[in-house]
């Protein structure tokens, strides 16, 4: 496995693979890898000849009061995990390598980025779209793999690829959870023991919402109330949002139908966590 820190180095290796007729899978990450990331690597390994994992904490997607400086970083640990899962290249650039002097080009999407995390974190998806677009151009993947936990991000990236006629497939992979139900997240490491226990309120609300939908509930407001009441019962939890939206447009719906995303962001202490489930009509 190679650890490459420069754009030119990755492009050189990718050109050699392309010349040999090999397919490339890309797994974009910000490091602090966990089993959710590992599932993406395994999916890429199964589908492609070569696998590139980017490990880059992207400053553009953090707001001024967010946790960029404190975001966990351990490239030695992350590299060992990547090697254990058959990754061929870890791309680990510096911010200066990705955004050189006088950098002035950004990718901005409208509508899909206005709701959910986009409403709570202004500018976040501008940073996501910009860095993912750059990673696609650098690694030239045939397929790129993203987790369903970041459902809005996944929808936005799929739309960007379609709108800009990019020649790759975006693959969404299922949420990976701890044994007790908490969705895997790099930010889980921020939680104290008490907060870690309190964080289970997210998955309890998600599972209750899913059960209600399976039982026939189709009213979005009723679903949000049910889940909100569960969150409200936990003193350490503060709701950022609980929303039921169209899975393609991210716009609110009144009644579940077709493809619908039910998503939440909840602060446990100072740590903001997200979770979701998707309802497909006819399932």
**Beta strand extents in 70-152 (DSSP E only):** 89-91, 143-147
Are 255 and 281 spatial neighbours (Cβ–Cβ below 8 Å)?
Answer: no
Catalytic residue check, 85: no
**Within 10 A of 121 (CB to CB), how many other CB atoms are there?**
19
Nearest 5°: CA angle at 106, between 133 and 127? 70
Q: Which of 34, 37, 92, 124 is catalytic?
A: 37
**Within 10 A of 188 (CB to CB), how many other CB atoms are there?**
18
Tokens representing residue 69 in the block: 């400086």
Distance between the two ends of the chain, CA-based, in angstroms?
41
The pairing of strands 2-4 and 89-91 is parallel
Q: Which residues of 127-163 are buried (b: 16+ CB within 10 A; e: fewer)?
A: bbbbbbbbbbebbbbbbbbbbbbbbbbbbbbbbbbee
Q: Which residues share a beta bridge with 241?
A: 265
Nearest 5°: CA angle at 71, between 146 and 234? 85
Catalytic residues: 37
């Amino acid at each position: 496995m190679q650890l490459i820190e420069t754009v030119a180095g990755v492009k050189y290796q990718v050109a050699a693979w392309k010349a040999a007729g090999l397919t490339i899978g890309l797994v974009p990450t910000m490091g602090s890898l966990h089993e959710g990331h590992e599932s993406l690597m395994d999916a890429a390994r199964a589908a492609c000849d070569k696998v590139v994992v980017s490990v880059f904490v992207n400053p553009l997607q953090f707001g001024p009061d967010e946790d960029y400086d404190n975001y966990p970083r351990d490239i030695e640990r992350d590299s060992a995990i990547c090697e254990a899962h058959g990754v061929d290249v870890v791309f680990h650039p510096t911010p200066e390598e990705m955004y050189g002097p006088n950098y002035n080009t950004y990718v901005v999407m409208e509508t899909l980025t206005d709701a959910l995390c986009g409403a709570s974190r202004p500018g976040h998806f501008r940073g996501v779209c910009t860095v993912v677009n750059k990673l696609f151009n650098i690694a030239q993947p045939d397929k790129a793999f993203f987790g369903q936990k970041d459902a809005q991000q996944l929808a936005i990236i799929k739309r960007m690829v379609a709108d800009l006629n990019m020649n790759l497939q975006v693959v969404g992979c299922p949420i990976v959870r701890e044994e007790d139900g908490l969705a895997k997240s790099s930010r889980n490491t921020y939680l104290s023991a008490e907060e870690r226990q309190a964080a289970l309120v997210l998955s309890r609300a998600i599972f209750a919402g899913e059960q209600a939908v399976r039982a026939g509930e189709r009213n979005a407001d009723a679903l949000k109330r049910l889940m909100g009441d569960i969150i409200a019962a936990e003193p350490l939890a503060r709701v950022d949002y609980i929303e039921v939206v169209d899975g393609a447009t991210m716009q609110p719906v009144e009644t579940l139908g077709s493809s619908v995303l039910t998503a939440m962001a909840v602060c446990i202490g100072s740590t903001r966590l997200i979770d979701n489930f998707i309802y497909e009509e006819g399932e």
